[in-house]
Amino acid sequence: MSIEKSSSIVLSTMPYRESSILMYLFTREHGRIHGLAKGIRTHDRRGVPVERGYLIEHMTYLKPHRDLHQVTDCHIRQHYPAIRGNLEKTAVRDVLFDLVLGGIKVTDPHPELFDYLLRYLSYLDGQSCDGSVLLLSLSKTLFGLAGYLGFRIDFGRCITCGKGFGKNVAAWLTVDRGMLRCGDCSPGQAKTDRLLPGNAAVYFARPEALLFREIPQLTDKEASALLHLACDYCRYHLDIRRRLESLSFIEHLFAAPPPAGEYGRQR
């Protein structure tokens, strides 16, 4: 057994017995881990109100060949109050966390992805609550998540002819193959082809330094369709089979039904 001090993003929590909680944490050093924090729900000074979405610092007792590890000495480093206090931002964050939970099934280090998630949480905490902006920036973040896990898409140009995309050049994303083609090179629509507006492709192609800047103007309905596309892509390539209740809640929250032709887990 090893004892390590770690910083973690709290992906989910569940009460356990009278005073403890079970947590899924995302750490820089070990990726996703399952932890048990004993006595954390007490009402005296020992209790630390750890919730989903917090960044915490803690000690971890790592046991080889065990799925559940003990977590102690929890301290909150950041609780992202603007996310926690806003229903739309919380819903957007929950979609991302559910895909992380479903897509990362083994305990491996993902330090770059850890930093990527922290940057997004900081951005979301300071962002306005414009619906299309929240949905579109989440879509870009989900494609980035897939990229960090080995399924990156080149949004910069058509994979067939090499033509770059622009505001008035629509693109077709073949979800199961992760290919982006222009309309001229996609005469027949495959079963998993999904239309991507040219200005969205340009936005998704921007480097990470410009991750959340110059977001194109789209309606909530258009932004919702792109979010479904990003979720479909992550679910397919990260082998996520369960239904995303958080995505269903976003549909209700922004009054945007899922686009026709969503194929979900079809292969």
Domain pair 2-79 / 82-253, same fold: no
Whether 265 shows a pLDDT value over 50: the answer reads no
Query: Any residues with CB less than 8 A from the CB of 71 and at least 6 apart, and which?
Result: 23, 25, 35, 36, 37, 58, 59, 60, 61
CATH code for residues 82-253: 1.20.1440.120
Q: For residues 24-52, give the mean pLDDT.
A: 80
Query: Any residues with CB less than 8 A from the CB of 124 and at least 6 apart, and which?
Result: 80, 82, 83, 89, 92, 93, 134, 137
3-state secondary structure of 75: strand
Read off the tokens for 222. 């258009």
What's residue 188's pLDDT?
63
Nearest to 246 by CA among 94, 138, 144: 94
Whether 209 shows a pLDDT value over 80: the answer reads no
Superfamily of domain 2-79, CATH level 4: Nucleic acid-binding proteins (2.40.50.140)
pLDDT, tens digit (0-9, with 9 covering 90-100), for 52-95? 999 999 999 988 778 899 999 889 999 999 999 999 999 999 99
Q: Taking the domains of the chain in order of start, what are their residue ranges?
A: 2-79, 82-253
What's residue 258's pLDDT?
55
Report which listed range, 42-46, 115-119, 254-258, is most confident.
Answer: 115-119
What's residue 266's pLDDT?
38
Look over the chain and give the mean of its residue pLDDT values, rounded to a whole number.
85
Question: Residue 264: which pLDDT band, with cuts at 50, 70 and 90?
Answer: very low
What's residue 262's pLDDT?
45
C-alpha–C-alpha distance, residues 159 and 156, integer Å: 9
Write down the pTM of the prediction: 0.88
